[in-house]
Amino acid sequence: MAEGDEKPVVNENKPTEAQVGLSQQIMAGAIADTQSKDLRAAPESALTRMADVTVDGIKKIPEGFKHSLDPSLILPNVAIGAAIGAGMKLILPKSGPVGAIASVALGGYFIGKPLVETYHGAYVARTMDDMNNASSLLGETLGGMPVTMVEAGIGAKLGSMAMGKALSVEAAQPFMNWKAHAYRGLDAKLMRGVESAKTLSLNAMGLESKVYRHGFIPEHVFDEIAARQPNNTEFLKTVEANRRLNTLVRQAREARQAEAAKPAQEGVGAREVFDAQGKEVDGVLVRSEGQKPTGNSEVDLAYDFTGAIRQFYKEVHGRNSIDGKGMKMQSTVNYGENFENAFWNGIRMTYGKPGPQSPFRTFMQRVIAGHEVTHGVTEFEAGTVYRNQPGALNEHFSDVGGALIDMYADKIPAGQYHWLVGKGIWKDNVAGEALRNMKKPGTAYDDPSIGKDIQPAHMKDYNKTPRDNGGVHINSGIPNRAFSEFASAVGGNAWEAPGHIWFEARARAGSTPSFSQFAFETIDAAKRLGHTDLVPKLEKAWADAGVKPTETPALHHRNFVPMFSTFGGTPAADAGAAVTVIPNANAEVRTNR
């Protein structure tokens, strides 16, 4: 360019041909997108919008089902299911209310999330296009469930199995033990709260049991004797005394809980025996650990009984006293005036003394002491609740504990034991050999003055009653029969393989097991403890009692089946999920003994 020529002016802001083309494409896309949407106003009423979305969403279920058949979605659904299955196996407990609540909460989230999004979308919809997106989400969620339930269920099972195998190694046992202990504590706290609310409700309706439930003599026995002996004033007084024990036990438990809040000190299960001297009090300390016999037969028997119990749990199960931490083993004898019972109040064992008109001979028996103190072991170790089938198992555990303690002290093998709980408890003029017969439930007593033993021996005769916390002392005969038959079939010492299997199963069964679930746990425990050869005998014992072993139900994580809806063909259809659960028939529970 020659000097002096003008430089051409270039407009740097002028779009290039490529930029113009891109802008035109964006504009065309926006126009097409707008034209594809239904921008008509949605109905003014929110209820109308939600109703319309529901109707349209149901119509779109077939389309959602068709989308769920897309092969490209199989692996993602299986992978998601596997991740959830493994995570739940790792985190959640094997059973119990906390695990059940967590499982239901997770299921509720997957079910509720797409539904909430659907109806929130309908509630805030301004155009018919918004309505269409909401109904598409509903159709995709509901339509995709049948197929994705199977896909994700397979994944969950694979993930759970893989994690279960990983957690079965020896290195994982400290973690598993810690998890089980932590969840048992949470279960117990939760169920105490549930039980408090339940008791208040039942009391308001007049349906709660009136007679003290912690005692060795159950409510239905008291009621039957009182009805048959209306003129026995002494016995009627003792029935009233038993009713007052509800307050006593609540106060004792509150005192123990307050004490538990203090720094724990390891003990050795030292024995202390108190004499109530005919009053309804803890009594005066009359014999402590290491002291010589007093000459008072009841004091010295209580001392010896607690020694036998302590020795059994230490030598057979390696347990340091009732709580596993050396809790003092306190007993009170001569409780109340003509008091017709023996009971564990959460702190101490207490024995009443039958009066002249009582049908009972004595409550000072080693098997009774073992039964009641084992309630304490169950409370500390497993927290098994005290209503319906879990409550009957709670009573059953104590009958088993009392019998094993009795056999161990005298070194009697299973084949030679009488299997009577409270043998000789009735006076000579009463036609009865015991309070319960573990091997032949329903045959322990039958006399016009006291009535007949009503324990069933088979599930077909299970007693569905609101009394006695759902028949906990009645229906315990069914698992009692199973254990006594199993131990007798195995032969030898019942406190060895049979006892270890039962105690292992109790510790792992959670706080709300049904008979069927506990039966499954005993079989699982037998295999885990190396007694696979005993499984056929165990299965036969449960079958003879009419109990079919069933693995922990879908409320708990082992059979938890997630169901995922799939990605649909519309932008509004996000992935959703749902969970199928089976309600637990034993939801009514109780923490009392």
Q: Are 249 and 345 in contact (CB under 8 A)?
A: yes
- Give one word for 272, left, alpha or beta, with left for phi > 0 and alpha for psi -120 to 50: beta
Q: Are the C-beta atoms of residues 483 and 400 closer than 8 Å to each other?
A: yes
Element containing residue 425 per DSSP (H, E): none
Q: What distance in Å separates the CA atoms of residue 560 and residue 97, rounded to the nearest whole number?
A: 15
Listed in sequence order, the DSSP H helices in 168-276 are 173-205, 219-228, 233-260
Where do runs of H (alpha helix) occur along 318-440? 366-381, 388-410
Task: Tokens for 48, please give them.
Answer: 């109308």
Biggest CA pair distance of the chain: 142
Is 473 assigned a catalytic role? yes
CB burial of 310-326 (b: ≥16 within 10 Å; e: otherwise) equals bebbeebbebbbbbeeb
Q: What is the Cα–Cα distance from 330 to 332, expressed in whole angstroms?
A: 7
Which residues share a beta bridge with 578?
Answer: 563
Phi first, then psi, for residue 318 (nearest 5°) are: 60, 30
The set of residues, in sequence order, having a beta carbon less than 8 Å from that of 64 and lying 6+ positions away, is 139, 140, 141, 142, 143, 144, 565, 566, 568, 573
Q: State how far the Cα of 185 lies from the Cα of 173, in Å rounded to an integer.
A: 18
Kindly calculate the radius of gyration of the chain based on its CA atoms and give it in whole angstroms.
Answer: 33
Coil, strand or helix at 125: coil
Q: Encoding tokens for residue 175?
A: 């973690």
Active site residue 372: yes
Q: Are 42 and 135 in contact (CB under 8 A)?
A: no
CA 237 to CA 291: how far, in whole Å?
A: 36
- Among the listed residues 214, 375, 396, 473, the single catalytic one is 473
Q: DSSP H helical segments within 261-327, as ranges?
A: 297-317
- The active-site residue out of 117, 372, 381, 504 is 372
3-class state of residue 354 by DSSP:
coil
285 DSSP β-pair partners: 274
Angle at 329 between CA 325 and CA 331, to 5 degrees: 160
Burial 567-584 (b: 16+ CB within 10 A, else e): bbebebbebbbbbebeeb
CA 590 vs. chain centroid, Å, equals 10
Residues noted as catalytic: 372, 473
